[in-house]
Amino acid sequence: MAMLTATKRAIRSLAPRVLDVSPLTRQLHASPGSKKIVGVFYKANEYATLNPNFLGCAERGLGIREWLESQGHQYIVTDDKEGPNCELEKHIPDLHVLISTPFHPAYVTADRIKKAKNLQLLLTAGIGSDHIDLKAAAEAGLTVAEVTGSNVVSVAEDELMRILILVRNFLPGYHQVIEGEWNVAAIAYRAYDLEGKTVGTVGAGRIGKLLLQRLKPFNCNLLYHDRLKMEPQLEKEIGAKFEEDLDAMLAKCDIVVINMPLTEKTRGMFDKDRIAKLKKGVLIVNNARGAIMDTQAVVDACSSGHIAGYSGDVWYPQPAPKDHPWRYMPNHAMTPHISGTTIDGQLRYAAGTKDMLDKYFKGEDFPPQNYIVREGKLASQYI
């Protein structure tokens, strides 16, 4: 019973507190009449028809077109989101709702918000709304919400996979096989067991906690740094130790995992100076946001060997340009932004987006943990 109570308290503590930014508020719920809803998603092309549950692509548009149009609403879906002449820009002046994802984000700048005279609601199909200028959204009285919890399992599992890929030096062995080579020594000289290693997560929210729980059976030394300490019973159950001093924790870690939102405070947080404080040969996994890292500092540290391996699926900007230096740095295991867009994750965030739209049309409130900006107030994790 004590464990259950502690778990419930921990879950309640994750609901975002909100801080007032502006008293200005646009209408929170839909006014009567047809609404123009624009969705921005990645294009699937020939893959769109290969799985009926592939809802997160532009071709499927979360599977809500028929439902929206049956209620008299207009639904525009595009993947074209960049530049003054893109398809999204054409609809900015008269749209009411904009839906985007972290995997193919529509960057909602203060300028776009100013142009969007009818805009009331910004929805993130997934988790992470840093592609929106949240301060400008709050000052304009917009509502910003996301499908909290929809893909936390997907991301935590992906992080565990990346840790193992780096620790076991998997990728060089894979490349040997496809290139017709066989050189065990070239892999084994830097392949290790995960057991006994010190793993620290910078951020222990929903994803960070799930990762720590999944690491427990590997018998690692688990550390975490976060603005909120876990309830003692939950901390004991997971087997992780709280570290109040971030730099002190980082110096102890064989593996560092980034699990914090991108804010003005965390942007560029891992710069040259902070990376220099890490253990030589550290492994880093970052499925949070690319801009938390200083791009060139990561490249330099991977090139020198100070970072022995870097893996993640987040870049800045996204999609990553062909000349992005992380594509070409040594000792990396990078992918496009895929961790949270598994088919299971898509089903959850599509259902969550539909539920919030339905509540918006009916004038009902969203689940409180989904709000990022509400009535001029910004969730505290983004302050």
Residues carrying an active site annotation:
151, 289, 318, 337
Residues 6+ apart with CB under 8 A from 279: 251, 252, 253, 254
Q: Would you say 263 is a known binding-site residue?
A: yes
Ligand-binding annotation for 226, yes or no, is yes
Closest CA to 379 of 52, 12, 109, 15: 15
- Which residues, including other chains, have CB under 8 Å from residue 230's CB and lie 6 or more apart? 10, 204, 209, 224, 238, 240, 242
Rg value, the chain, Cα: 22
Q: Is 43 annotated as a binding-site member?
A: no
DSSP class of 108: B
Q: Is 357 annotated as a binding residue?
A: no
Amino acid at 128: G
For every residue of 294-318, which 3-state class applies, written as one string?
Answer: CHHHHHHHHHHCCEEEEEECCCCCC
Other beta carbons within 10 Å of 116: 21
The answer to whether the annotation marks 83 as part of a ligand binding site is no
Answer yes or no: is 127 a known binding residue: yes
| DSSP assignment of 139-207 | HTT-EEEE-TTTTHHHHHHHHHHHHHHHHTTHHHHHHHHHTT---HHHHHTT---STT-EEEEE--SHH
Structural contact between residues 79 and 106, judged by C-beta atoms closer than 8 angstroms: no
* 206 marked ligand binding residue: yes
CA-wise closest residue to 350 among 41, 21, 27, 8: 41
359 is in an annotated binding site: no
Q: Is 95 annotated as a binding residue?
A: no
Q: Is 132 annotated as belonging to a binding site? A: no
Is 207 one of the annotated binding-site residues?
yes
Question: Is residue 363 annotated as involved in ligand binding?
Answer: no
Is 264 known to sit in a ligand binding site?
A: yes
DSSP H or E run through 74? strand 74-78
Binding-site sequence positions: 127, 151, 206-207, 226, 261-265, 287, 313, 337-340
- Which residues are annotated binding-site positions for substrate? 127, 151
Feature table: binding site for NAD(+): 206-207, 226, 261-265, 287, 313, 337-340
